[in-house]
Structure 1
Amino acid sequence: MCGRYASSRSPEDLAEEFEVVDTRLDKVLPPDYNVAPTKEVYAVVERAPRPDDEETGATPDDPEPVRQLRALRWGLVPFWAKDPSIGSRMINARMETVAEKPAFRRAFAGRRCLLPADGYFEWYETQQKGKSGKPLKQPFFLTPKDGSVLAMAGLYEIWKDPTRADDDPERFRWTCTVLTTEATDEAGRIHDRMPLMLTRDRRDAWLDPRTPKDSLLDLLVPAQQSGLQAYPVSTAVGNVRNNGPELVEPIPFEESLL
């Protein structure tokens, strides 16, 4: 699974990297080195503009999707949900079943996104045991060797809160989930699942809501993982209250524990 990641790039850097033309942010999110479920995260989406959208100047004859940068809450709330708290259990969607699962299939068909990340964390179960007798877990940070931005495949939904008035700006909740796949290579030694990354040549088709559903599964082929590096980091990342660049700094770790 993917339960924590780091995202420190500025909106300007992300807009350039992902060719965003419409930045829809109420506020700038601070650099986050311990992104956890229910937090707000940056997401790249493509949406067909509405005819009355003054920001894009769209007309009824101009349905071309516009690439946007938005802040979404991590933990997808399906449109049919009665209680938004279900989102805390919907932080990941398995690539193998995403097209059929009731919670994700509608979003998979037309509401796909990219979730930018510096890298992500996974916990490895070591051979050492703690005082409780259970194996100790060592967190690892997995990040591109070249320092580039990861583009994690995601889905998003817009949940309408029936308890709020029509003019309440909080009536619509934008939420997202990260797609996961079977881990291979360096990542596979640490955990059997990992975020699904999309290479540059597949980003456009993934984001475009007009891409036929039948061809989407062809895009969900795990990217080559040889460009990732994995190294141990402080166990402080296990506490969501901890945040800062020190959480992604490598620490010594005995190879015999792997």
Structure 2
Amino acid sequence: MCGRYSLTASVEDIVEHFQLLRPVKFHPSYNIAPNQKILNIVELDDGSRKAVNLFWGLVPSWSKDSKNSAHLINARMETIREKPSFRSAFKHRRCLIPADGFYEWERRNGKQAFHIHREDRQPFAFAGLWEQWQHDTETLYSCTIITTAANELMQPIHERMPVIIPTQHYHDWLNKTANTNDAYALLDDQAYTNMTTTPVSDWVNSPRHHDARCTEPALQ
């Protein structure tokens, strides 16, 4: 699964990396947790990209309410084409979720936290889905991060990992008119070739901590 991640890049870096034409509003954090608004990138009808802040924990459009429903922070790649919670969003509402690292906890030797990031520390993007829930005058826009089976890098830490979309395929993933089979084919692990894992201290265990100490290497 993916339940915590970091995004500490500057606004300028985000605008350049995702080729945005509009201003970006977000709060950099070393420890982003579910059930808060997070930065998403969506593609408009004219092909331009827009940065929006969506609630992390997808609420399906058919849910009876937005508060007591189980908020789906992750969507399994294997079932997004069939599961009612994600099926429509996969066809019509794909998004990119900017990050520069994510956390996972390896439990076989205690509970060691790892920060997984690019070797050059540059930003990247998770594959995501977004949804609109509406009832009377209340509207909620929410999102989820797609996960897949762990590759060789991640298997020693956890059995799942978030899907990362390679930079050259951002448009292919966001394009609303793309063939869904082509979009699904992008959900492999080729973007992990430049990733590495760093054991970090237990400071990151608390979602209340969101400063640079979260990514400091653990003392050996």
Tell me the equivalent position of 1:6: 6
The answer to whether the 8 Å contact 1:186/1:226 transfers is: no
Tell me the equivalent position of 2:34: 37
Shift of 1:214: 3.0
Q: Distance in 1 between matches of 2:162 and 2:69?
A: 18
Shift of 1:22: 3.3
Q: Distance in 2 between matches of 1:243 and 1:145?
A: 21
Shift of 1:147: 1.3
Q: Which runs of 5+ in 2 are unaligned?
A: none
Shift of 1:16: 1.1
How do residues 93-172 of structure 1 correspond to structure 2 at under 5 angstroms? 93-127=75-109, 136-162=110-136, 164=137, 171-172=138-139
Tell me the equivalent position of 1:68: 50
Deviations 1:204-252 (A, max 9, x none): 1100111122322222222242311111112121211111011011112
Shift of 1:186: 2.1
Aligned pairs, number: 220
Q: Distance in 2 between matches of 1:38 and 1:88?
A: 11
Q: Distance in 2 between matches of 1:218 and 1:6?
A: 26
The answer to whether the 8 Å contact 1:2/1:194 transfers is: yes
The answer to whether the 8 Å contact 1:185/1:226 transfers is: no
Q: Distance in 2 between matches of 1:11 and 1:159?
A: 29
Shift of 1:189: 1.1
Choose 1 or 2 for highest CA Rg.
1
Shift of 1:182: 1.1
Tell me the equivalent position of 1:222: 189
Identify the match of residue 178 of structure 2 among 193, 211, 232. 211
Tell me the equivalent position of 2:166: 199
Q: 1:22 to 1:87 in 2, by over 3 A?
A: farther
The answer to whether the 8 Å contact 2:55/2:143 transfers is: yes
Shift of 1:183: 1.2
% of aligned pairs identical? 37
Shift of 1:15: 1.7
Q: 1:231 to 1:95 in 2, by over 3 A?
A: same
Cα RMSD for the two superposed structures: 1.7
The answer to whether the 8 Å contact 1:92/1:180 transfers is: yes
How do residues 42-61 of structure 1 correspond to structure 2 at under 5 angstroms? 42-48=39-45
Tell me the equivalent position of 1:20: 20
Q: 1:192 to 1:157 in 2, by over 3 A?
A: same
Q: Which runs of 5+ in 1 are unaligned?
A: 49-63, 128-135, 165-170, 254-258
Tell me the equivalent position of 2:214: 247
Shift of 1:117: 0.5
> Under a length normalisation based on structure 2, what TM-score does the superposition of the two structures give?
0.93
> Under a length normalisation based on structure 1, what TM-score does the superposition of the two structures give?
0.80
Tell me the equivalent position of 1:256: none
Q: Distance in 2 between matches of 1:185 and 1:66?
A: 35
Query: 2:98 is aligned with what amino acid?
Result: P
Tell me the equivalent position of 2:146: 179
SS of residue matched to 1:96? helix
